Amino acid sequence: MDSEIQLISDGDSLAVIGDPTAVERFLASEGLPSKDFGSHRLGSALRTGAAVGQVGSGVAANSGRWVKLTQESAQLVQKHGLRESATTGLSTGVVKGSQGQIGGFVSFVTSPGSIVTNPAFLAGAAGVMAQLAMQQTMDEITDYLATIDANLDDVLRAQEDAVLADMIGAGFDIEEAMIIREHGGRVNEVTWSKVQATASRIARTQAYALRQLDAFAEKMERKTKVSDLAKTAEKAEYKAQGWLAVLARCFQLQDAIAILELDRVADAAPGDLDGHRVGLKATRGKGLDTIARSTERLLARMDAAAGTANSKVLLHPTASPAVVQSGEHVATKVADFHGLLGIESGRQSLEARRWVGAASELRDKVLETGAERVDASRRRGNETLDRARSAKDRLSDGIVERARRRRDENDETSD
């Protein structure tokens, strides 16, 4: 007996839809970790597809799993020859195999009657996939914030600006809407009315946090004295983590708003769902680019400061290594932040991690060079002191000898 499973990829994730046993067997054969697509979400997409494209009622028994694409799992798309649609931008296909074979799903087949050929279903499924991807990022941000909760609290307590209060208040409204969505299965007009104005408040807070990071970069650029660089770098090291946490929280709330938006559009204007999903993805990418540029600028200034400190290590044997060490800590935090938000696909995170390694080497070099130079200075100082003491001793001996001769001469005259 043959089974078919439907594969849908949006470039970031993969939906595997079909008979529950077949789906589990396929994922096991490929070694792919997955999450439940959500029967109610899949059912909603199927209903939308049936209403618009008359998808057969038999697909209602299907289940789905969601897979986040990594470098390794992305190869599955090429392996099974998924074909990209110029209309939707999605890659789709049907894999067919025998139920009695664990690794039986090896051949790609076309199936005109399959659900992956139905535009309405694809739009619904792609919307759910986008929501699941954003939900996973939100969960990861929650874990990230939990590890630095004290830092975030310090930042929030230290600020009296209403911008951060906006973020906190918007967070309450959005979290309430997410809870209602989870229990009610949809986003009604009342729920949406509470959150539709929160996007601008979150964007305002995000811009504020980015300005704080830019301010540190500008201060580092203006400083030329190593002592001033050390103080500014130390402050940046302490404050940067908190502002990165604020940015992470803003990004988390923006993803939550996007999830709610997709539900609302699917309910009110399903024909607009796919275009809205693509628009949200573009907006999300633009936001990530803005964050990447700001954090890269800070890293560049920390890098330049470390170079300045290294060139003046002889004059500042304590402050110079401190500048390098602060830069290393900031770079590590930025690299972790980039990885959290998925900026690792570009050069930002890679450069940040390279900077960490280079900074570590530079710090060791500064410490080693500084120690050598300080020791050399001490040796030169000791040698100078020894010569001074020797000269002093010789001078003292000469004075004593001249005094003795004068006494002898005086004694001879008196005789």
pLDDT at 136 exceeding the cut of 50: yes
Residues 339 and 229 in one domain: yes
Residue range 73-86: average pLDDT? Answer: 73
Coil vs helix vs strand at 64: strand
Model pLDDT, residue 105: 43
Model pLDDT, residue 351: 47
Domain for residue 375, yes or no? no
Residues 33 and 80 in one domain: yes
Name beta bridge partners: 113: none
Residues 244 and 330 in one domain: yes
Radius of gyration of the chain (CA): 34
Domain for residue 108, yes or no? yes
Domain for residue 142, yes or no? no
Q: Could you read off the pLDDT of 23-34 as tens digits, one per residue?
A: 888 888 888 888
Residues 160 and 13 in one domain: no
Residue range 242-267: average pLDDT? Answer: 93
376 versus 269: the higher-pLDDT residue is 269
Residue range 231-244: average pLDDT? Answer: 83
156 versus 139: the higher-pLDDT residue is 139
Residues 169 and 47 in one domain: no
**Rounded-to-integer distance, Cα 29 and Cα 294, Å:** 43
What token pair was written down for 361? 């080497």
Coil vs helix vs strand at 310: helix
List the single range of 115-129, 305-319, 379-393 with lowest mean pLDDT.
379-393
**Rounded-to-integer distance, Cα 15 and Cα 281, Å:** 18
33 versus 101: the higher-pLDDT residue is 33
CB 233 within 8 A of CB 323: yes
Give CA separation, 360 vs 234, 357, 364, in Å.
16, 5, 6
| Residue 152 binned pLDDT confidence (cut-offs 50, 70, 90) | low
Q: How many CA atoms lie within 13 A of 100 on its CB side?
A: 1
Residues 83 and 232 in one domain: no
Residues 230 and 314 in one domain: yes
Model pLDDT, residue 349: 41
- Structurally, the chain folds into a number of domains equal to 2
pLDDT at 96 exceeding the cut of 80: no
Question: Please, which residues have CB within 8 angstroms of residue 172's CB and are 6 or more apart in sequence?
Answer: none
Domain for residue 113, yes or no? yes
Residue range 92-97: average pLDDT? Answer: 76
Residues 261 and 178 in one domain: yes
CB 152 within 8 A of CB 242: yes
pTM, to two decimals: 0.75
Domain for residue 109, yes or no? yes
Coil vs helix vs strand at 276: helix
* Strands annotated E in 279-397: none
Residues 9 and 92 in one domain: yes
356 versus 251: the higher-pLDDT residue is 251
Domain for residue 395, yes or no? no
Residues 90 and 162 in one domain: no
Give CA separation, 273 vs 85, 91, 142, 282, in Å.
16, 17, 28, 14
pLDDT at 391 exceeding the cut of 60: no
CB 166 within 8 A of CB 201: yes
**Rounded-to-integer distance, Cα 105 and Cα 19, Å:** 13
Domain for residue 97, yes or no? yes
Whose tokens are 């200034």? That residue is 301
Residues 169 and 257 in one domain: yes
**Rounded-to-integer distance, Cα 68 and Cα 76, Å:** 12
Highest mean pLDDT among 46-50, 121-125, 293-297: 293-297
Model pLDDT, residue 353: 45
Residues 104 and 170 in one domain: no
What is the span of the domain harbouring residue 306? 148-369
pLDDT at 131 exceeding the cut of 80: yes
Domain for residue 135, yes or no? no
